[in-house]
Amino acid sequence: MKSAEKPQILCIGHDPVLNRTRRLILEKHFEVSLAHGPEESVALLGKRRFALILLCYSLTDDECRAVVEILHGVAPDTRILALGEVRERLGLSAPDEVFVSGGPAELLKKCVSIVGMNAAPENRAIAAETPRDARPPAGTRLEPE
């Protein structure tokens, strides 16, 4: 799949390590842009259209709500996936949603499903492409304390 044909995803989060890791996980199937906070994301939203916005749990709920409000105003068809530890985060309504990920393979499969790529033959084996040992050990905290 050529880069121009890949769906665009914008990952928004304060943690640069998590942003880079998500880019590595997603870039084989998506064109991934990174924003290190709401202000940077607004600038990117004005320049291009994204199929999916991924909100990191490193953003506050208020920051997420602000991005969701802006996005619904400028690109109402863009899907939003907020990563969180509890499903009730932000009170998003369908088709937007909160996702409690079990690891990189689940995140990749979820993103593929949201943008409707799961019907493409080259994307049917995505879970098999992400090794189980790519997941952090159980109990590992991914954000700084």
Is 92 a member of any domain? Answer: yes
Is 144 a member of any domain? Answer: no
Is 62 a member of any domain? Answer: yes
Q: What is the pLDDT of residues 3-30, one digit of tens each?
A: 458 999 999 999 999 999 999 999 989 9
Residue 28: exposed, middle, or buried by beta-carbon count in 10 A (0-12, 13-18, 19+)?
Answer: middle
More confident residue, 36 or 2: 36
* pLDDT score, position 130: 43
3-class secondary structure, 42: helix
Q: What is the pLDDT of residues 87-136, one digit of tens each?
A: 566 767 777 777 877 788 888 999 998 888 754 444 444 444 444 444 44
Cβ proximity of 6 and 30 under 8 Å: yes
Residue 3: exposed, middle, or buried by beta-carbon count in 10 A (0-12, 13-18, 19+)?
Answer: exposed
Say how many domains are in the chain: 1
Sheet containing 31-35: order of strands: 31-35, 8-12, 52-55, 79-83, 97-99
Is 35 a member of any domain? Answer: yes
Is 11 a member of any domain? Answer: yes
106 CB neighbour count, 10 Å cutoff: 15
Is 141 a member of any domain? Answer: no
Q: What is the CATH number of the domain that holds 28?
A: 3.40.50.2300
pTM of the model: 0.74
Give the structural domain span for 16. 3-134
Is 70 a member of any domain? Answer: yes
In one-letter notation, the amino acid at residue 24 is L
